[in-house]
Amino acid sequence: MAIVNRTPDSFYDQGATFTDEPALERVAQAIAHGAAIIDIGGVKAGPGEEVSTAEEIRRTAGFVAEVRRRHPDVVISVDTWRHEVAEAACAAGADLLNDAWGGVDPEVAAVAARDGAGLVCTHAGGALPRTRPHRVGYDDVMADILRVTLALAERAVDLGVRRDGILIDPGHDFGKNTRHSLEATRRLPEMTATGWPVLVSLSNKDFVGESIDRAVHQRLVGTLAATAISSWLGAQVYRVHEVQETREVLDMVSAIRGDRPPAVARRGLA
C-alpha cells in the first residue's frame, strides 16, 4: 500500500505530492515498483492547520477519479475518518476506506457497506483525530487492540461490509507511545490468529525514530527491519512511503519462508 499525500504539510514529504502531476507521477512509480494499493490522504495525521470536510474532498475525490481512469486495475484506498469524504471517494472510484482513527465517525463503516468498499479497522486508543498521545497507558495494549479492532470488524460485517474486504490495523503510534508500538509489533501473531488480514503502517513512524534515535528521513533501515519482522509474524498489508525497498524486503522474507521461489537460480546448477 503506497502512501500518496494530498497535503501541503505531510511530516514525510512536506507537500511533494500536493499538486496533481507530482502526485500522479508518484502513483505511476509506486505501481511500477510493486504497489498493489494506492492510499490517498487529504489531511495529515498529526496536528496542524484545520482542514474542512469540503477541502478534504477537494483534495482527494477528483484525484481518485483520475487515478482510477489511468490505472483501472489498482486498488484505491482513501485515508479518512469522515463519512462525507468516504462517500465522495467511493463515488469517484475508491475501493477501500482506510479509517485510521478507529471509527470515530461510525458512519464511515456504513458508507463502506452501502458502496461495496472494503474497510480498515484501526486501533487508535480512543484518541481524537490529529492528536498526539499524552501519558497514555494500557493494562495490556494488545488486549485493547484486539478488543477494539475485532469489535469494529464485526460491526462492519453486521452493517453489510463484505467480510473479504475488512482488514485490522494495530495503529502504530496512534494513541500509543513507542513501547506500546513495539509491543504491538512483537505480538502481531495474536492479531493474525483472529483470521482477519492485518495491515501495518510502520513507515518512518516515531516509534521507529525513537527506537534507534533517528530523524524522519533517517528511518528507512529501522522501518525495513520492522517490516521484515512484521512479515515473518504474519502481517499481510504494509502502508509505506518507500515502495521498492519494502517490496524487496517482503520478497526476501517470503523466499526465506518458502512462500516464493528465488527470482533467479543460477549458482551451483552448472
Which tens digit of pLDDT belongs to each residue from 176-202?
Answer: 999 999 999 999 999 999 999 999 999
Q: Is 239 a catalytic residue?
A: yes
- Furthest C-alpha separation in the chain: 64
268: region left, alpha or beta (phi > 0 left; psi from -120 to 50 alpha)? left
* DSSP single-letter state for residue 47: S
Active-site residue identified among 6, 26, 44, 205: 205
> What φ, ψ does residue 188 adopt, rounded to 5°?
-55, -35
205 is catalytic: yes
User: Looking at residue 45, what is its pLDDT?
Assistant: 95
Q: How confident is the model at residue 270 (pLDDT cuts 50, 70, 90)?
A: confident
Per-residue pLDDT of 42-63, as tens digits, reads: 999 999 999 999 999 999 999 9
Q: Which residue has the cell 460491526?
A: 155
Predicted structure pTM score: 0.96
Which residue type does 117 have? A
Structure confidence by residue, pLDDT tens digits, 136-162: 999 999 999 999 999 999 999 999 999
Q: Which residue has the cell 474542512?
A: 52
- The residue from 6, 44, 176, 239 that is catalytic is 239
Domains delineated in the chain: 2-257 (3.20.20.20)
